[in-house]
A = this chain, B = another copy of it.
Amino acid sequence: MSAATLEAVLGYCFQNKSLLELALTHRSHSARNNERLEFLGDSVLGTSVSSLLFHRFAKLNEGDLSRVRANLVKQAALADIAQRLGLSEHLRLGEGELKSGGFRRPSILADTLEAILGAIYLDGGFEKAQAVIHQLYEPIVKSIDPQTIGKDAKTLLQEFLQAHKLALPTYTVVATHGAAHSQQFEVACDIAELDIQVQAAGASRRAAEQTAARQALEKAMAAKPAGGARKAVKRARKAAQLTLPVAVAQDAR
Contact = CB atoms under 8 A, between A and B. Distances in A.
Interface stretch (A9-17, A46-54, A101-109, A206-214): A46-54
A35 B62 CA distance: 6
A43 interface: yes
A35 B61 contact: yes
Copies of this protein in the assembly total 2
Interface string A129-140: 010000000000
A225 B151 CA distance: 55
Interface in A135-150: none
B66 A54 contact: no
A164 B141 CA distance: 54
A85 interface: no
A51 B47 CA distance: 13
A251 interface: no
Contact of A39 (B66, B121, B126, B127): B66
Contact of A36 (B54, B126, B127): B54
Contacts of A38: 62
A65 interface: yes
Contacts of A61: 35-36
A44 interface: yes
A65 B39 CA distance: 8
A43 B35 contact: no
Interface string A16-52: 0000000000000000000110111001101100110
Contacts of A127: 125-126
Identify the interface centre among A38, A44, A127: most chain B CB within 10 Å of its CB: A44
Contact of A43 (B40, B50, B121, B125): B50
Contacts of A46: 43, 46-47
Nearest to A57: B36
A244 to B, nearest CB: 27
20 contacts: A35-B61, A35-B62, A36-B54, A36-B61, A36-B62, A38-B62, A39-B62, A39-B65, A40-B50, A40-B51, A40-B54, A43-B43, A43-B47, A43-B50, A43-B51, A44-B47, A46-B46, A47-B126, A51-B121, A126-B130
Given A35-B62, A36-B60, A44-B47, 14 more contacts: A35-B61, A36-B65, A39-B50, A39-B62, A39-B65, A40-B50, A40-B54, A43-B43, A43-B50, A46-B46, A47-B47, A47-B126, A126-B126, A126-B130
